Amino acid sequence: MDNGAVVRPYDVVLFGATGFVGELTAEYLAEHAPAGCRWAIAGRSRDRLAALRDRLAGQWPDCAGIPLIVADSTDPESLRALAESARVVASTVGPYVWYGEELVAACAEAGTDYLDLTGEAEFVDRMYVRHDARARETGARLVHACGFDSVPHDLGVYYTVRQLPEGVPLRIDGFVRAGAVFSGGTFASALTAFGRGRQILRAAHERRLHEPRLVTRRARAPLGGPRFSRETGTWALPLPTLDPQVVARSAAALERYGPDFRYRHYASVKTLAMALGGTAAVTTGVLAAQLPAVRRWLMGRYESGQGPGAERRARSWFSVRFVGEGGGRRVFTEVSGGDPGYGETAKMLAESALCLALDELPKTSGQVTTAVAMGDALLGRLRAAGLRFRVAYSG
């Protein structure tokens, strides 16, 4: 359904199309967008956009006519024009805490659905405080974290909840494993977050002051402690990422998650030595990121816009196992797929954009999660696109 009474020229616009994940997303849309879907690519450089279009047209001739839109994250006027031209805008331009807000503001004002790939909790919280209310007024859906952060976790818990009884307290633990490498853009986003601890806490506090509290239900995602998981046969390390926050927000919005919902999020490693090594590496990264000179040097070592090659991505994989309990039932489920950071992330972002633009969905607005905004429709799309959601045990 269109956003507002005005018919817009594009169903989907991909902003940041010439970046590493942007190009993969454009390739996915070129291959999978249905006939009649009006989509365009956007970015700072017309020449780079034209070169991308030529590469796409070399494999998919119908792409020769893809419209090009020049827009810059530092030019609010260009972003307003971009937002007003589209029903859905999907952005790959990060770190979002630096480059993302003007586009969110433009989409909230124009009543345009917005998607991104952020895993930055500070950015998500600030966008809620500053733009959720206006998006609710205009009907815009602001859906952050539409890649590996946080679709497998959010929809994986959504899928697991559906295997458990209704109207009872539910407890779910998620265990993440992956074999992959990261791009310069992902590395820059992680270092940015590591170096902004105070700002992250302040943004979370401001959000709590604005966010309505549940009265008759409870939904929470506490940070669990390190432990050995008998269910998975691995060591479980608490993951203080955006993912559990997204899950808790889905649980707060959807009564199907029961009157008292708890989710814990872990990295899953095979040995105690790997667990200790991983903890030490993360601690070192956090400490190093506190020093601006060290942070700049590290960012300079990994150029943004570059990432692993096709052969390395083809060997990459991820698996998220969920253990759910409630009402006397226990289930083990799993979400798994290929390269999490790039191939599958591009797929998730593209399918989310197509879902918002083309599918019949629940009526929502403001800042919403993938489970709340798209739920069954996106789950069906991703399964059809090759992501695996399965029940391993139910009893």
Structure confidence at residue 275 (pLDDT): 53
**Residues 193 and 331 reside in one and the same domain:** yes
Task: Tell me the residue length of the chain.
Answer: 395
**Residues 137 and 226 reside in one and the same domain:** no
Provide the pLDDT confidence category of residue 298 given band limits of 50, 70 and 90: very low
Asked if pLDDT for residue 46 goes beyond 50, the answer is yes
Q: Does residue 4 sit within a domain?
A: no
Asked if pLDDT for residue 288 goes beyond 50, the answer is no
Structure confidence at residue 307 (pLDDT): 67
**Residues 329 and 348 reside in one and the same domain:** no
**Domain hosting residue 34, numbered range:** 10-148+344-380
Tens digits of per-residue pLDDT, 323-378? 999 999 999 999 999 999 889 999 999 999 999 999 999 999 999 999 999 999 99
Beta strand ranges found along the chain (DSSP E): 10-15, 39-43, 68-70, 86-91, 113-116, 141-143, 170-179, 218-220, 227-229, 234-238, 260-269, 317-326, 329-337, 366-367, 388-394
Look up the CATH number of the domain holding residue 352: 3.40.50.720
What does the DSSP 8-state code read for residue 386? T
Per-residue pLDDT averaged across 87-91, rounded? Answer: 98
**Residues 310 and 363 reside in one and the same domain:** no
**Residues 81 and 32 reside in one and the same domain:** yes
Q: Does residue 5 sit within a domain?
A: no
Total domains, the chain: 2
Asked if pLDDT for residue 287 goes beyond 50, the answer is no
Q: Does residue 357 sit within a domain?
A: yes
Whole-number Å distance between alpha carbons of 231 and 392: 12
Residues ≥6 apart with Cβ < 8 Å to 19: 43, 92, 93, 185, 304, 305
Provide the pLDDT confidence category of residue 50 given band limits of 50, 70 and 90: very high
Helix (H, G, I), strand (E, B) or coil at 388: strand
Per-residue pLDDT averaged across 271-296, rounded? Answer: 52
Q: Does residue 2 sit within a domain?
A: no
The first and second tokens of residue 161, run together, are 């909840």
Residues ≥6 apart with Cβ < 8 Å to 109: 80, 83, 134, 138
Q: Does residue 3 sit within a domain?
A: no
Q: Does residue 178 sit within a domain?
A: yes
**Residues 115 and 235 reside in one and the same domain:** no
Tens digits of per-residue pLDDT, 159-179? 999 999 999 999 999 999 988
Phi, psi for 240 (deg, rounded to 5): -85, 55
Whole-number Å distance between alpha carbons of 28 and 47: 21
The first and second tokens of residue 117, run together, are 């790939």
Whole-number Å distance between alpha carbons of 41 and 18: 9
Structure confidence at residue 348 (pLDDT): 98
Provide the pLDDT confidence category of residue 294 given band limits of 50, 70 and 90: very low
Do the beta carbons of residue 12 and residue 357 sit within 8 Å?
yes
Whole-Å CA distances, 336 to 11, 90, 177, 369, 388: 29, 24, 9, 20, 5
In terms of phi and psi (left: phi > 0; alpha: psi -120 to 50; beta: otherwise), the region of 366 is left
Structure confidence at residue 286 (pLDDT): 46
Structure confidence at residue 277 (pLDDT): 56
Least confident piece of the model among 19-28, 260-269, 279-288: 279-288
Whole-number Å distance between alpha carbons of 102 and 26: 22
What does the DSSP 8-state code read for residue 213? P
Per-residue pLDDT averaged across 150-156, rounded? Answer: 97
Phi, psi for 140 (deg, rounded to 5): -70, 140
Whole-Å CA distances, 175 to 82, 85, 229, 237, 243: 39, 41, 9, 9, 12
**Residues 168 and 242 reside in one and the same domain:** yes
Tens digits of per-residue pLDDT, 4-40? 456 899 999 999 999 999 999 999 999 999 999 999 9
- Bridge partners of 261, per DSSP, are 170, 219
Do the beta carbons of residue 224 and residue 264 sit within 8 Å?
yes
Structure confidence at residue 309 (pLDDT): 77
**Residues 160 and 287 reside in one and the same domain:** yes
**Residues 139 and 76 reside in one and the same domain:** yes
Whole-number Å distance between alpha carbons of 107 and 345: 22
The first and second tokens of residue 132, run together, are 């959720």
Asked if pLDDT for residue 43 goes beyond 50, the answer is yes
**Residues 237 and 280 reside in one and the same domain:** yes
Structure confidence at residue 4 (pLDDT): 47
DSSP string, 291-360: SHHHHHHHHHHS-TT----HHHHHT-EEEEEEEEEETTEEEEEEEEES-TTTHHHHHHHHHHHHHHHHS-
Whole-number Å distance between alpha carbons of 392 and 233: 15
Whole-number Å distance between alpha carbons of 319 and 309: 21
Do the beta carbons of residue 315 and residue 179 sit within 8 Å?
yes
Do the beta carbons of residue 368 and residue 317 sit within 8 Å?
no
**Residues 141 and 196 reside in one and the same domain:** no
Neighbouring CB atoms inside 10 A of 176's CB total 24
Q: Does residue 294 sit within a domain?
A: yes
Structure confidence at residue 330 (pLDDT): 97
Asked if pLDDT for residue 293 goes beyond 60, the answer is no
**Residues 314 and 181 reside in one and the same domain:** yes
Question: β-strands 10-15, 39-43: how paired?
Answer: parallel
Structure confidence at residue 284 (pLDDT): 46
What does the DSSP 8-state code read for residue 279? H
Q: Does residue 1 sit within a domain?
A: no
Tell me if the bond preceding 340 is cis, omega within 30° of 0: no
Express as a percent the part of the chain with pLDDT over 70.
85
